[in-house]
Amino acid sequence: MAEIVKINIDGIALEVTKGTSILDAAKSVNVKIPTLCYHEDLCVAGNCRVCVVEVEGRKNLVASCAAPAEQGMVIKTTTPKVRRARTDIISLLVSEHNTQCTTCYRSTNCELQSLAAEYNVDSERYLSVLKPNIQVDKSSYSIEKDDSKCVRCQRCVRTCAELQHVNAITVAHKGRDMKISTFMELPMNEVVCVNCGQCVTHCPTGALTERRYYHEIWEAIGDPDKHVVINTAPSVRVALGEMLGYPVGTRVTGKMVTALKKIGFDSVLDTDFTADLTIIEEGHEFLQRVTKALKHKEKVALPMITSCSPGWVKFIEHMYPDHLDHLSPCKSPHQMFGALTKTFYAQKIGVDPSKIVSVAAMPCAAKKFEANRPEMKSSGYQDVDAGLTTREIGQMIKQSGLDFVNLPDSNYDSYMGESSGAAVIFGATGGVMEAALRTVYEVVTGREVPFKNLAITPVRGLEGIKEATIKLENVVPEYSFLEGAEVKVAIAHGLKNARVIMDQIKNGTSPYLFIEIMACPGGCIGGGGQPIPTNDEIRKKRIAAIYAEDEGMPIRKSHEVPEIKKIYETYLEKPLGHKSHELLHTHYKKRNRY
């Protein structure tokens, strides 16, 4: 049984488990202690000292994020000594910071700016020691790095190392020359970066941001010769409201569609349509591999792994290049959408595809890189012209002057606007697997999955690696060789968990047939392009909204969507057919580890 200690914080007596940090103890009784280097997702660093408190009997102030509560502690969080120390620390951080806050992308959502305002710090308390001529690194399609705004809290370094096991950025040099840098101080586009953007969502200032492309999209919208189409990912609709006056976890699907139409997009379509297509293609690919392996005894790459997450795809290209054959060849849904926009959709509406500007509203920074991959031109053009994050879409709506809260709801436009609840849950970790199982199980057995209300609960939740076993009984004749088989699947989110899964495959010990991997913690709802902040509490609320959206949909399975059936009948011909391979599938590239 855990040992309990008694402490006192600002006159409040409380009991906590021994080892609980002073910061967490204070949170439990609603005492706010400011922080900067601390983040719930990461290990404790204790290097900014903003969270210092006074402990009776101790000469020096202690960092509350790193100091454990001990029996009999009397802690004071707002004494003059504490306030003077915090003010000095914040002032020193401001003195080496680029304080052009009025033009900073993170203005009004910057933790240093908020602390400076709270402690009435201005830029004149100490002389500025900001180094001159610091260049912003805009080499990456996905991420901008501005060292003039870095407070050296190292949250980005810990994120890249602890959550993602990539180590694209690290601490270089010492003392006043210490900085956050890359291998050999190379530009971001030349290092092993998977473009996931988790460093961006964990950065407290504007030192790391996504590359922004909405200015170009505004220009395209204003060009009468352009036909601008946008498709919106499932995770955008459950997070966009956070930027526009709604509580976390509010679904704003209809208002989002209305806003995008009023902004001037010629057509507003749903990425969920091609998420359903992904399930049809990926599900048939999985069954094809299983048939070859178990019925025909052919050698195929199993387990098969999903390929929806471009950050994950680039991770395996760098870290496990000899195992790329395990990836499904299916493009991510938004890249499928881009290819179909400039082929199928262009034919349907009679528009020259060279005049179409295809925009993807995504929760993801890596989609920006993916859109610029040379493989993504199967339409004869760049399939997706720009990937915009949820944050960028929020900024565009603000710039448009729309009263978002009072907008009426609208439906997506037709042609690639109809979808299922299975597609919506792509946004949550486990969602792609659940959507695939809803279809694959029914194809093999002729029956719905044996879970109440189609909710395959073993694949849900925020556990880093989840497992499920589905037993196949009373199968249809075509799949008689699977009678009694137990299909073991796994779901991983966050690349540190992906590494565990891949090491099993590399060592030949993987027990699974089918695996879903998402680069970002929580899946797309926790993507690098989502509103800031993001933590587990926020992820859970967004996930709950995703599942609520699914349950409210009239169609819950990808293979039952009328528009999906129709596009195969009139255009794609059949799953895994020639046209599908041409437009919906891709190949991958072995990349260097260093």
Domain CATH for 351? 3.40.50.1780
Give the helix/strand (H/E) hosting 281: helix 272-290
Asked if 203 and 238 sit in the same domain, the reply is no
User: Amino acid identity, residue 525?
Assistant: I
Asked if 360 and 480 sit in the same domain, the reply is no
Closest by CA position to 334, among listed 236, 462, 210: 236
Count how many residues are written for the chain.
Answer: 594
Query: 212 CB contacts (<8 Å, ≥6 apart)?
Result: 105, 144, 392
Are 62 and 46 in contact by the 8 Å Cβ rule? The answer is no
- The DSSP secondary-structure symbol of 373 reads -
Asked if 340 and 318 sit in the same domain, the reply is no
pLDDT at residue 138, rounded to an integer: 97
pLDDT at residue 129, rounded to an integer: 82
Residues of the chain with pLDDT under 50: none
In a domain, 205, yes or no: yes
Catalytic center residues? 282, 285, 308, 328, 367, 370, 375, 524
pLDDT at residue 131, rounded to an integer: 84
For the entire predicted model, the pTM comes to 0.96
pLDDT at residue 125, rounded to an integer: 76
In a domain, 218, yes or no: yes
Pick the last residue of a domain from 186, 209, 232: 209
In a domain, 445, yes or no: yes
Asked if 160 and 254 sit in the same domain, the reply is no
Strand ranges of the sheet holding 465-471, from the earlier edge strand across to the other edge: 304-305, 514-518, 486-493, 465-471
pLDDT at residue 2, rounded to an integer: 82
Q: For strand 74-76 and strand 52-55, is the pairing parallel, antiparallel, or unpaired?
A: antiparallel
Pick the last residue of a domain from 347, 374, 406: 406
pLDDT (tens digit per residue) in 354-364: 999 999 999 99
φ and ψ at residue 290, rounded to 5 degrees: -65, -40
Asked if 359 and 468 sit in the same domain, the reply is no
Pick the last residue of a domain from 360, 377, 406: 406
In a domain, 47, yes or no: yes
Asked if 296 and 147 sit in the same domain, the reply is no
CA distance 341 to 358: 7
Query: 368 CB contacts (<8 Å, ≥6 apart)?
Result: 141, 142, 195, 210, 211, 213, 386, 387
In a domain, 117, yes or no: no
In a domain, 380, yes or no: yes
In a domain, 243, yes or no: yes
Number of domains in the chain: 4
Asked if 323 and 339 sit in the same domain, the reply is no
Q: CATH number of the domain at 317, please.
A: 3.40.950.10
Asked if 323 and 338 sit in the same domain, the reply is no
Domain extent at residue 573: 280-330+420-584
Distances 297 to 4, 7, 323, 480, 507 between C-alpha atoms, Å? 59, 66, 20, 15, 22
Look at residue 109 and give its three-state secondary structure: coil
Strand ranges of the sheet holding 227-232, from the earlier edge strand across to the other edge: 267-270, 227-232, 356-362, 386-389
Asked if 510 and 390 sit in the same domain, the reply is no
Q: CATH number of the domain at 62, please.
A: 3.10.20.740
Are 337 and 200 in contact by the 8 Å Cβ rule? The answer is no
Where would I find the H helices in 411-535?
A: 421-424, 431-445, 495-507
Q: CATH number of the domain at 201, please.
A: 3.30.70.20
Asked if 180 and 312 sit in the same domain, the reply is no
pLDDT (tens digit per residue) in 448-474: 999 999 999 999 999 999 999 999 999
Asked if 319 and 393 sit in the same domain, the reply is no
In a domain, 143, yes or no: yes
Asked if 179 and 312 sit in the same domain, the reply is no
